[in-house]
């Protein structure tokens, strides 16, 4: 009797223990605290005026800050010139870059931060019946195109407020992936 009371008490205490569920945080290292900070620095870069070193000081430095790709002239061309889009549709700044050929280069950056927490029933999660995940965060992408050492074109996009709720249901619970596991074991 005493063991059953203790078992019920333990079950009662753990039934709402979502704090025992795993969580994860993913952040791409950057000089920016959040989306607004990245967007503000992006806005400070002025085509025709900002130099390569000024761009680096704004936080867009692939060597020191990381998370940036260095783009050659051909990379810039492949990024902006599409087969069905006439070249005169492009902004003049990009056309001047394409005409400069080897003197044209660029940088592409992607910064993000996400926080993922499992929520819901502890027991449903542990026994693999249902896993609920709440994801919050932001992502910011920017491309800068330079001729010689001067910025001529920039473009950005991103998600300032990532808010997702993911649900994974497994009606068979812990047995859900057993068939795949056993078939993988037989192949060895």
Amino acid 28: pLDDT: 56
Q: Which residues pair with 150 in a beta bridge?
A: 51, 147
Amino acid 110: pLDDT: 93
Is residue 28 within 8 A of residue 38, CB to CB? The reply is: no
Q: Which of 37, 64, 43 is nearest to 53 (CA)?
A: 64
In a domain, 96, yes or no: yes
Amino acid 103: pLDDT: 95
In a domain, 8, yes or no: no
Is residue 102 within 8 A of residue 127, CB to CB? The reply is: no
> How many Cβ atoms are within 10 Å of 41's Cβ, its own excluded?
19
**Angle (CA) 99 104 108, round 5°:** 130
The CA distance from 32 to 29, in Å, is: 8
Amino acid 126: pLDDT: 67
Beta carbons within 8 Å of 37's beta carbon, 6+ residues apart: none
In a domain, 188, yes or no: no
Amino acid 120: pLDDT: 73
Is residue 60 within 8 A of residue 144, CB to CB? The reply is: yes
In a domain, 9, yes or no: no
In a domain, 14, yes or no: no
In a domain, 132, yes or no: yes
Q: Which of 111, 158, 157, 119 is nearest to 135 (CA)?
A: 119
Is residue 52 within 8 A of residue 107, CB to CB? The reply is: no
Q: What is the pLDDT along the chain (188 residues), one digit of tens a residue?
A: 655 655 555 555 555 555 555 555 555 567 888 999 999 999 999 999 999 999 999 999 998 877 889 999 999 999 998 888 788 888 999 999 889 999 999 999 999 888 877 777 776 666 677 777 888 889 999 999 999 999 999 999 999 988 887 777 777 666 666 656 556 666 76
Domain total for the chain? 1
Q: What is the domain range of residue 131?
A: 20-181
């Amino acid at each position: 009797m005493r063991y059953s009371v203790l078992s019920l008490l333990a079950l009662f205490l753990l039934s709402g223990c979502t704090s025992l569920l795993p969580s994860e945080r993913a952040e791409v290292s950057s000089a920016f605290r959040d989306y607004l900070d990245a967007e503000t620095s992006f806005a400070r870069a002025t085509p025709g005026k900002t130099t390569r070193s000024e761009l680096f000081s704004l936080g867009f430095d692939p060597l020191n800050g990381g998370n940036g790709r260095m783009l050659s002239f051909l990379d810039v061309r492949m990024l902006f010139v599409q087969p069905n889009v006439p070249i005169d549709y492009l902004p003049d700044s990009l056309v001047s870059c394409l005409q400069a050929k080897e003197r044209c280069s660029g940088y592409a950056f992607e910064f993000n931060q996400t926080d993922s927490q499992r929520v819901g029933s502890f027991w449903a999660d542990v026994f693999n019946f249902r896993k609920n995940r709440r994801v919050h965060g932001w992502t910011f992408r920017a491309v800068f195109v330079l001729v010689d050492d001067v910025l001529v074109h920039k473009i950005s996009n991103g998600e300032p407020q990532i808010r997702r709720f993911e649900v994974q249901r497994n009606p068979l619970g812990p047995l859900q992936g057993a068939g795949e596991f056993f078939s993988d074991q037989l192949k060895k």
